[in-house]
């Protein structure tokens, strides 16, 4: 599955100094991937010392944070400009921390706006490993030249990404997607539905609303999802809606948005239960991002909603190089899940699509088959362990053996 020389756990456990890593993750998904990576690394190198920028999950995994960067997550150029001085301060604090810490390697996780600038500033004074590729295949083609100059090794989730980097002469390893094997519910589907619906009726349809992990994203997308929920409720009886809250955002944010929508339909808020919710659902509305792959791995029919600042949308429309933005469609190589982007987010249109996918078994089965085909392209279970092995191999090349 990967291009570097094959490695196993025994090879990774070679006698080397304890090692020091500096990691940077800027969003909730990167924080989660970073936490799993660090947990696997510490299995291989129990005395590994980790510092950096990340979130709660990386801190729990053993990373000494100099700042919780996930609290500053933004969406679009306008949001970045509003927080420019905050990001600038964090950026230079991180540079000073690296100089003080003198790590054996730096692991950059997603967040290319921040991380590629950081890699350029480091200027190859430390080995740089990039985990979770920037979406250069979508709208960042020029970034690959920066990556080739500043990054020593890419670790990627998708095989097509590895092919792209290989053609451009960038050292790369494909490990598969860490979500494979992680999407395990806490209970059986029927138990979850019986618990959440109380009456346990098989006739009630469960619809999940996953509006993202950034504040601005939720503020733009959740109100649209709630309007669609109202339209669905008027079209058909017996639908219960569940809002999945991001653990990185305050519950008050969701409460305020839902109260403003004044729902007249059954709606329940859930927190830290997105996997259970998807398994229990008949249909989902999902903001673009990793959540589309989570829904794909659970094989639940869904649609994608995405809205950003108009300035960001107009800029992105001229830069984007592919006809769709949902990861599940990118991996499939075609549009298997409907996308409603910016001005296409129309309540009645989405509600009609949702009603079809709720009530027409032939359409549901076709989408489920397409989602299962995507699952086969995400690699096998154990991606985080394979990524950790690659990191250890690279550390071995840079740390002097005793």
Whether 3 is in a domain gets the answer no
Q: Round to whole Å and give the CA distance between 327 and 292.
A: 6
CA distance 360 to 396: 55
Tell the burial category of 106 from Cβ atoms under 10 Å away from its Cβ (0-12, 13-18, 19+): buried
Same domain, 135 and 207: no
Q: Which residues of 244-278 are buried (b: 16+ CB within 10 A; e: fewer)?
A: bbbebbeeeebeebbeebeeeeebeebeebbbbbb
Q: Are residues 313 and 225 in the same domain?
A: yes
Q: Does residue 338 sit in the same domain as residue 391?
A: no
pLDDT of residue 124: 81
Question: Both 199 and 250 in a single domain?
Answer: yes
Indicate whether 384 and 262 sit together in one domain: no
Strands lying side by side in the sheet with 302-306: 267-271, 239-245, 205-210, 283-287, 302-306, 339-341
Examine the domain organization and report whether 141 and 208 are in the same domain. Answer: no
Handedness of CA 47, 178, 129, 272 (dihedral sign): negative
Number of domains in the chain: 2
Is position 1 within any domain? no
Contact criterion met (CB below 8 Å) for 95 and 118: yes
Same domain? For 30 and 174 the reply is: yes
10-residue stretch averages of pLDDT, the chain, 402 residues long: 46 59 92 95 94 95 93 59 77 95 95 92 91 77 86 95 92 96 92 83 88 90 96 92 92 96 95 94 91 94 81 51 79 93 84 92 96 95 96 80 39
The number of residues making up the chain comes to: 402
Judge whether 59 and 65 are in contact, CB under 8 Å. Answer: yes
Task: Tell whether 347 and 394 lie within a shared domain.
Answer: no
One domain for residues 285 and 238: yes
3-state helix, strand, coil in the chain (%, to 5): 50, 15, 35
156 lies in some domain: yes
Residues 209, 152, single domain; the answer is no
Report the pLDDT value the prediction gives residue 261, as an integer from 0 to 100: 95
Beta bridge partners of residue 283, listed in sequence order: 207
Residue 402: what pLDDT? Answer: 37
Q: Examine the domain organization and report whether 119 and 261 are in the same domain.
A: no
- CATH code for position 240: 3.40.50.2000
Same domain, 244 and 358: yes
User: CA-to-CA distance for 301 and 332, rounded, in angstroms?
Assistant: 15
Domain membership of residue 17 as a residue range: 9-180+379-398
The pLDDT value recorded for residue 300 is 96
The pTM for the full model equals 0.81
């Amino acid at each position: 599955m990967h291009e570097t020389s094959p490695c196993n756990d025994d090879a990774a456990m070679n006698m080397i100094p304890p090692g020091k890593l500096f990691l940077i993750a800027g969003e909730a998904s990167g924080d989660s991937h970073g936490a799993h990576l660090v947990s696997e690394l510490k299995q291989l190198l129990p005395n590994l010392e980790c510092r950096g920028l990340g979130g709660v999950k990386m801190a729990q995994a053993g990373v000494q944070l100099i700042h919780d960067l996930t609290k500053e997550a933004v969406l679009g150029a306008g949001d970045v400009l509003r927080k420019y001085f905050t990001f600038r301060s964090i950026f230079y604090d991180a540079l000073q921390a690296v100089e003080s810490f003198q790590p054996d390697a730096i692991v950059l996780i997603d967040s290319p706006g921040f991380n590629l600038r950081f890699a350029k500033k480091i200027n190859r004074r430390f080995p740089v490993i990039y985990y979770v590729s920037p979406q250069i295949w979508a709208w960042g083609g020029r970034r690959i030249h920066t990556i080739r100059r500043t990054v020593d090794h890419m670790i990627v989730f998708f095989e097509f990404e590895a092919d792209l980097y290989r053609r451009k002469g960038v050292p790369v390893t494909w490990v598969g997607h860490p979500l494979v094997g992680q999407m395990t519910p806490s209970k059986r589907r029927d138990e979850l539905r019986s618990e959440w619906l109380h009456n346990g009726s098989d006739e009630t349809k469960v619809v999940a609303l996953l509006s993202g992990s950034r504040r601005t994203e939720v503020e733009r997308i959740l109100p649209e999802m709630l309007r669609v929920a109202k339209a669905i409720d008027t079209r058909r009886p017996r639908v219960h809606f569940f809002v999945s809250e991001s653990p990185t955002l305050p519950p008050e944010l969701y409460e305020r948005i839902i109260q403003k929508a004044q729902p007249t339909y059954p709606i329940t808020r859930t927190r830290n239960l997105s996997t259970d919710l998807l398994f229990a659902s008949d249909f989902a509305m999902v903001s673009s991002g990793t959540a589309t792959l989570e829904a794909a791995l659970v094989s639940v029919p869904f649609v994608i909603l995405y809205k950003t600042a108009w300035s960001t949308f107009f800029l992105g429309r001229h830069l984007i190089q592919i006809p769709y933005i949902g990861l599940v469609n990118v991996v499939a190589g075609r549009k298997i899940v409907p996308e409603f982007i910016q001005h296409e987010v129309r309540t009645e249109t989405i509600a009609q699509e949702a009603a079809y996918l709720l009530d027409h078994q032939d359409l549901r089965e076709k989408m489920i088959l397409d989602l299962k085909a995507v699952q086969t392209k995400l690699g096998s279970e154990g991606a985080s362990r394979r990524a950790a092995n690659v990191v250890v191999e690279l550390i071995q090349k840079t740390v002097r053996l005793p």
